[in-house]
Amino acid sequence: MGFKVTITPSNIEFNAEAEDFILDAALAAKVNFPHGCKNGACAACKCKITSGEISLAEYNKAVLTDEEIAEGYTLLCKSHAESDIIIDLPGFVNGFPIRTLPAKIEAIDKIGTVAILKLKLPANQQFNFYAGQYIDIMYNGKNRSYSLANSPSESGGVELHIRFRPGGAFSEAVWNELKVGQILRFTGPLGSFTLKNSDKKIMMVCTGTGFAPIKSILEYMVATNNQRPIELIWGNYTAEDFYHTEFLEKWAKELNFTAKLCINEGNHSEYYTGMVTDYIVENFTDLSDYEIYACGNVAMIENLYVVARSQLQLGKTDFYSDAFTPSPDSI
Ligand SMILES: Cc1cc2nc3c(=O)[nH]c(=O)nc-3n(C[C@H](O)[C@H](O)[C@H](O)COP(=O)(O)OP(=O)(O)OC[C@H]3O[C@@H](n4cnc5c(N)ncnc54)[C@H](O)[C@@H]3O)c2cc1C
Ligand code: FES
């Protein structure tokens, strides 16, 4: 039996079967509810239920406390409806329609272990997205998610940053099989890792190709002359793993922007050696005046959320993230 789910105050409605997670039902109904990992680990789908009954499957206790549950909060990706429910999500609008489109490979440029894949969209199709969103590419019967790395203000195509993974069903194909001119199909735009309207300072934290959606957001801020203060903290294993660093100099001129690069291994005077979270704990004491946008490795995002909330006074609703969780059918 299905239950009616209503999002207020926008009054968007959809149906959820008791056996489905409510987030999956929302996405199936083309309601682009904020989400990230879809696995109870990142807090991106956290919201308040103001009416009705739900049951909650296993989730990471670090991202939803018992206190919050008592106040009515839940993680939609791990919740089943047990009656009609009402969710309070001020400011939610359903965004751009989710579409499945063909796209032609325009370029594959390899920089170290990252491929910059450019896709051209059919001239007669419009594809709108918010800076920071992602798409799902279908290849050989498998779906893989990739963040859009270009600004939505550039029309006609999309750019993706794909890290090489040995044995990776899609990333190896990008290296060894795919050719310029070939057609791929994708679904999007997806996700809610987008810049919020606020006057707070922005801390952007990413690992590896988590840089992709951040580049999209920063290029959009350049296009719209947004001068909010931004600190980017970007981590990689080694200095050789950084790519597109020319954008850091560009943004330092065009935006109110500074960057710190962190490496896990090696000693270089211009890099911090250690995890991005270590750098933040050593250099910041109070983040109550910040919004954090974190993207990339799941463990980094979980760790950063706990540290920022428990030690650095980050506001409860000031953490936004996109976790690059491996696909469930990863080989
Ligand atoms: C919302 C979202 C956005 C994403 N955006 C990007 C992006 O912009 N750029 C990008 O490079 N990736 C991104 N990813 C990860 C991407 O979807 C794939 O998981 C990744 O490219 C590996 O796919 P594959 O087919 O090459 O490897 P698979 O065939 O899926 O796996 C190959 C091997 O790599 C391991 N592996 C796969 N993915 C990961 C991972 N994320 N972390 C650690 N080990 C892993 C698997 O366990 C397996 O051993 C994103 C994921 C999500 C959920
Ligand atoms: S916790 Fe639900 S999407 Fe990550």
Given the CA of residue 173, which atom of ligand 1 is nearest to it? 26
Give 2-88's CATH code, choosing from 3.40.50.1390, 3.10.20.30, 3.40.50.920, 3.40.50.970. Answer: 3.10.20.30
Q: Directed axis angle between helix 246-254 and helix 211-223, to 10°?
A: 30
Start and end residues for every CATH 3.40.50.80 domain found in the chain? 201-323
The closest ligand to the CA of 159 turns out to be 1
Per-residue pLDDT of 137-196, as tens digits, reads 999 999 999 999 999 998 889 999 999 999 999 999 999 999 999 999 999 998 888 898
Given the CA of residue 36, which atom of ligand 2 is nearest to it? 3
Given the CA of residue 75, which atom of ligand 2 is nearest to it? 2
Give 201-323's CATH code, choosing from 2.102.10.10, 3.40.50.10860, 3.30.499.10, 3.40.50.80. Answer: 3.40.50.80
Question: Range with the lowest mean pLDDT among 65-69, 179-183, 189-193, 286-290?
Answer: 189-193
Alpha carbons 80 and 319: distance in angstroms, whole number: 24
Residue nearest ligand 1's atom 9 by CA: 162
Q: What is the CATH number of domain 99-190?
A: 2.40.30.10
Per-residue pLDDT of 292-325, as tens digits, reads 999 999 899 989 999 999 999 999 889 988 888 8
Q: What percent of the chain has pLDDT over 90?
A: 73
Q: pLDDT at residue 113 above 60?
A: yes
Start and end residues for every CATH 2.40.30.10 domain found in the chain? 99-190
Closest by CA position to 54, among listed 26, 12, 82, 28: 82
Q: What is the mean pLDDT of residues 74-99?
A: 89
pLDDT at 295: 96
The closest ligand to the CA of 114 turns out to be 1
For the Cβ of 161 lying below 6 angstroms from any atom of ligand 1, the answer is yes
For the Cβ of 170 lying below 6 angstroms from any atom of ligand 1, the answer is yes
Given the CA of residue 64, which atom of ligand 2 is nearest to it? 1
- Give the position of tokens 């309070």: 88
The closest ligand to the CA of 134 turns out to be 1
